[in-house]
Structure 1
Amino acid sequence: MKKTIAGIELPDGAMAQAATDWIRGTESELMFHHSLRAFLFGALTGHREKLTFNAELLYVAAMFHNVGLNVKYQRSPYRFEVDGANAARDFLRQHVVVDRLIDEVWAAIALHTTPGIPEHMSPLVALVSAGVQMDVRGARHDEFTVQQCDEIVQAFPRESGFKKKIIEAYARGMEHRPETTFGTVNADVLDRWDPNYRRLNFCGLVLGSEWSN
């Protein structure tokens, strides 16, 4: 694996290597490459905005951010983001990371699909979300140079049909627990994927509650 891409050095310490091996052995190449690109876009954002962040923790968070979509979690009662955050927490504890930093990684993964919140939190939380959102939906695409994007995609290619394939990956990771998508962008995924899915409506829940008025 090339160590420096678009000016960003890929962490290669023992913990980063263990995270790479863990994810490479459990996720598809499509999702593995997505995680690597998310790290690179997040790190580039951090350097551009002159933020102070731990690159190895950003890398681990990017590696684990979609773990909750794995088939082993399909009956989980939690949002897939929470399952991924919990898996990262267990991994970091094995590597004797201090609780404060573990909590930060947990929040970064748990909130990476929640619009409007991560950017107001710590750099790590903000950058995980920024990297993921750039790779998935092109958020702030114009703030990256053509050369940066080309280098990243050349190193870790976007498969043909990536847009549809990643939506399918999200859907398959959540279709067995549709109730966990309430109030999140995940409801949009199932709404497009499953013709029988009916999203909950907050106003309907309020008006239909057991309260008399």
Structure 2
Amino acid sequence: MSRFGDPEWGRRRGGRLTPPEGLGVLTALIGKQLRARLGSPAAPPARPDLDLALPDSRLVQDALDHCAAECAPDIVAHSIRCYAWGVLLADLRDIRFDREALATAALLHDIELGRTERRDRFACLCFACAGAEGARIFLEARAASPDRVTRVCDAIARHLNPDVPLKPYAESHLLNAAAALDVVGAGARALDPADRARVLATWPRGDFRRTMQAAMRREQAAAPNTRAGLLMQLGFGGLIARAPFGDTL
């Protein structure tokens, strides 16, 4: 059975939202904002001993090389930060996950962002689901296990959802939360300032704010009835601009 935003949904719907799905996205976003306004618990002490580096494996190195070849440097750094944020968030909530799967998903999740000129290569107009299609080809060419292919592709396809539950795949939940944290600062206050500073110092944001805004505007223009298009209609560009991070440290 498919879930909203997953690869099978992308193939079946072409990434296009139905009116009820669009209303569901809006309702979920309102709920998320209300929960954020209620505040979050005090951040735990910093974890300077927690390893935030990408796993040292051939698959992850290949994914990093692919990301660097396909994406602007600001998107590459964003992708690596998403992995680091995911590790920190998992540690915060004691979530067990597959580090290699999360790293691969983080590195491949924005490969198709803003690449609207080549969307006809895929069955889906949505950049996240198109990215999941590309990731499947990438992983199968490297003989990745079926479980890893499923986890990585699900995480990439669903990272645009307002929320992703912890089950069935922790990696999908973590990438969704990490991407929202890096792009608009959602949940940043749950992490110790020293941990946030460590991530930003190691992988600086550079001009990421403007790079992301420009890419999302291209998505909105080319595919307004997708999740990305709806998010921009609902003011996502302004949230990017107000993210609680400087463009540079």
Quickly name the TM-score band, shorter chain normalised: 0.7 to 0.9
2:31 matched residue in structure 1? none
Matched with 1:171 is 217
1:155 CA drift (Å): 1.3
* Deviation, structure 1 residue 190: 5.4
Output aligned runs, 1:120-199, within 5 Å.
Answer: 120-160=167-207, 162-179=208-225, 181=226, 184-189=227-232
Q: CA deviation at 1:51?
A: 1.5
Q: Distance in 1 between matches of 2:59 and 2:130?
A: 20
Q: Distance in 2 between matches of 1:131 and 1:105?
A: 15
* 1:113 pairs with one of 160, 178, 188: 160
Asked if structure 2 preserves the Cα contact closer than 8 Å seen for 1:85 and 1:110, the reply is yes
* Greater RCO, CA 8 A, separation 6+: 2
Contact 1:5/1:152, CA 8 A, preserved across alignment: no
Structure 1 distance, partners of 2:112, 2:233, is 16
Give the alignment partner of residue 97 of structure 2, picking from 48, 53, 56. Answer: 53
Q: Which runs of 5+ in 2 are unaligned?
A: 1-47, 238-249
Query: 2 CA distance for matches of 1:191 and 1:140?
Result: 19
Q: Which amino acid aligns with 1:146?
A: P
1:100-137 CA-to-partner distances (Å, cap 9, x unmatched) read 22112111111101113344442111111111111011
1:74 to partner: Cα distance: 4.0
Structure 1 14/164 Cα, relative in aligned 2: closer, same or farther at 3 Å? same
Give the Å deviation of 1:86. Answer: 0.8
Q: Pick from 106, 111, 117 the counterpart of residue 67 of structure 1.
A: 111
CA contact (8 A) 2:219 2:228 kept: no
Residue identity in the other structure for 2:212: I
Query: Among the aligned pairs, what percent are the same residue?
Result: 24
Report how many aligned residue pairs link the two structures.
Answer: 187
After superposition, the Cα gap between the structure-2 partners of 1:188 and 1:142, relative to the gap in structure 1 and judged at 3 Å, is: same
> Partners in 1 of 2:199 and 2:188 — Cα distance?
13
Structure 1: tracts of 5 or more residues without a match: 195-213
Q: CA RMSD in A?
A: 2.4
**For residue 58 of structure 2, what is the aligned residue in structure 1?**
14
